[in-house]
Structure 1
Amino acid sequence: MSDALNTGCFLKQLWNEPVLGVRPLHPGYEDHASEVWQVTTSSGAFVLRRSLVAGIPEVDFWQGAHHLCGVDASTLQDLRQVLTLLSGIQGVQVPRVRGEVEVEGQVYLVLEKLDGNTICSFEDQPETVMEQLGEMMARIHAQTFTWCGHPTGRVQKPLEDFHAALLDTMQMLVDRFYPAAEFRAALEHARAQLEDVPVTEASLVMLDQDPSQYLHHEGELSGLVDVEAYVIAPAALDLIGLEYVLDRKAARAVKQGYCRIRPFPDLSRVRSPYRLFCRLLSIQGKVPLEDWMNHPAFLDGLD
């Protein structure tokens, strides 16, 4: 726990009321870029967050996200802007920012604590929760952009340049982290597959789709809480990353919910190259490449 957080003086800079307890919240995976606590006061519970990194961490995920779209987990201002964007979309529940303070050069963000518990697995969730997830993703994807890059607008690339930028990022990741022949061969295959595939629109997309990013409460999807890896990219990238944490039943419910809001994107032409990108980011760890690429296409054939 941060030394500053152990001092009553620090907590008094954030709350003018008694602090009853402080509990660290761990995301459940390694290489996370933020330290997060639940702080309980006499008026309720809040979430306190600070960045753990300075600059771009030397790991595949953060290097790839930065190279492609300018993601920088060291600044909480980006997180604040992404939360503001998402909170403006009807039907999307994200924490509201309640305050910010700088102590000894470190910025801390105070966030609303949403009701609910972290989802550990989508496979044991009720169909209603998964349909609500599909609806939420569709509402987010319905907000379209004429460029790709970072939600703050700090990085903007023409839509027609996205696949070239994606291939350049994958080349960097292969050269730096995955020099084995199987990854180089997969990259060349992806290059050929994307040669004539246009990108016609982009949306807010979460690069690290995982159940742990969401909350559930009393049989309902109650919130989206981890948004620091959102970018502006084709919606198909979001859904292809999600496919790895679904089973067939959950996938059917997600697709049903999504299609209530907007047409479901065609994933078939980009599934293989986008899957390779997700693997190079290690969004679900160091899965053997052949197993990763041959994962069932759960979101196909469910109409």
Structure 2
Amino acid sequence: MKKTLQALFDQPIVSVKTLGEPYDGRANDVWLISLQDQTEYVVKSPKTAREESEFVYGINMIYGVDARTVQEYLDEINEKLAHTNSFHIPKVVRKVKKAGKHFYVMEKVEGIPLTSFEGRSAQFYRDYGRKLAHFHSYQTNFFGAVYGGEKRHLREFHALLKKAVSKLISHYYADQPEYQDYAEKVQQKLEKLSPPDAASLILIDLDPSQYIEDDDQVTSLVDTEYVVFGPAAFDLIALEYLLTKEAAQAVQLGYEEICPLPRQLHEVRECYRFVSLLLDIHGSWDMKKWMNHPIRFSPHC
């Protein structure tokens, strides 16, 4: 592999370090490359053989993001996200195809990978809340992929979610009657929900590993392939599983310095939680524990 990576650079490579923990379903191989002139780059290469997971299947159906081609738009996606005045977004220096694989040479950002939201200072959480709010402040009346996919008006969103619930259940949960029963309840609720007020740039499977931290702050967002236009409530609901009550209060304080929480958060929580569970955004959970998890964010607290 070092020989292939060397072909991406004019300078001799001094060292190659594999970044991130290996796990099933990981989208990319990632390396930190140090060159002879002491410059450093991060190189990403999408894995070619990936089993279609609940997440990949679901976001393609809901948001039109195709895991097989989304990487081709990584430079355009990152350029778009860089205008949000929130997290630093690494630049794609160049895209290269070698030995049948795509490689993306990217700016190396300062800091270390964020491994957990636990046990941080109130200022850390508040600063993160402000940055997330800035990220969500880019709003549209459509949902879908940032680049390379169809955009649809928000009035279609809940009808599409209802269809997605049905297909995810039949595709991945056909042998779990408790999921099927709950899905019927959620589909009935989705029929009655009003369309989202707006769509924002969202992460969907929001997780600490998507970020870099430096000096007690979340500074950079480095996992951007699956950022889409969708309801900001999805990100806040994903965060509820990662934060203590006190941490969430500090995040909300920072968030509301920039913009209010989504007005419909309470109204959509049950349905969006169930969809997030079906998408397997945080790994395996007991359904009852997931659906009854404590509420961390409220527009009226």
Name the residue aligned to 1:262: 259
Please report how far the alpha carbon of residue 286 of structure 1 lies from its aligned counterpart in structure 2 after TM superposition: 1.4
The whole-number CA distance in structure 1 between the counterparts of 2:199 and 2:51 is: 26
1:148-227 maps to which residues of 2 (within 5 A)?
A: 148-152=143-147, 154-179=149-174, 180-198=176-194, 199-227=196-224
Which of the numbers 288, 291, 303 marks the counterpart of 2:289?
291
CA distances 1:167-218 after superposition (whole Å, capped 9, x unpaired): 1111111001012111111111112222232222111111111111111112
AA partner of residue 199 (structure 2):
A
CA distances 1:18-61 after superposition (whole Å, capped 9, x unpaired): 3111111125653111111111123322110011035x742111
The answer as to 2:282 corresponding to 1:281 is no
AA partner of residue 244 (structure 1):
Y
1:60-79 maps to which residues of 2 (within 5 A)?
A: 60-75=54-69, 76-79=71-74
Distance 1:58 1:140, change over 3 A: same
Name the residue aligned to 1:34: 28
The whole-number CA distance in structure 1 between the counterparts of 2:259 and 2:229 is: 18
The whole-number CA distance in structure 2 between the counterparts of 1:17 and 1:268 is: 54
Length-normalised TM-score, structure 1: 0.92
AA partner of residue 225 (structure 2):
E
- Contact 1:150–1:232 (8 Å) recurs in 2: yes
The alignment's C-alpha RMSD in Å is 1.7
Length-normalised TM-score, structure 2: 0.93
Gaps of 5+ in 2: none
The whole-number CA distance in structure 2 between the counterparts of 1:27 and 1:96 is: 23
Taking every aligned residue pair, what percent have the same amino acid on both sides? 32
AA partner of residue 201 (structure 1):
A
- Contact 1:52–1:74 (8 Å) recurs in 2: no
Name the SS of the counterpart of 1:269 in structure 2: helix
Name the residue aligned to 1:102: 97
AA partner of residue 272 (structure 1):
E
The answer as to 2:139 corresponding to 1:144 is yes
Q: Show structure 1 runs of 4+ deviating over 6 A.
A: none
Q: How many residues align?
A: 296
Name the residue aligned to 1:112: 107
Which of the numbers 18, 21, 35 marks the counterpart of 2:12?
18
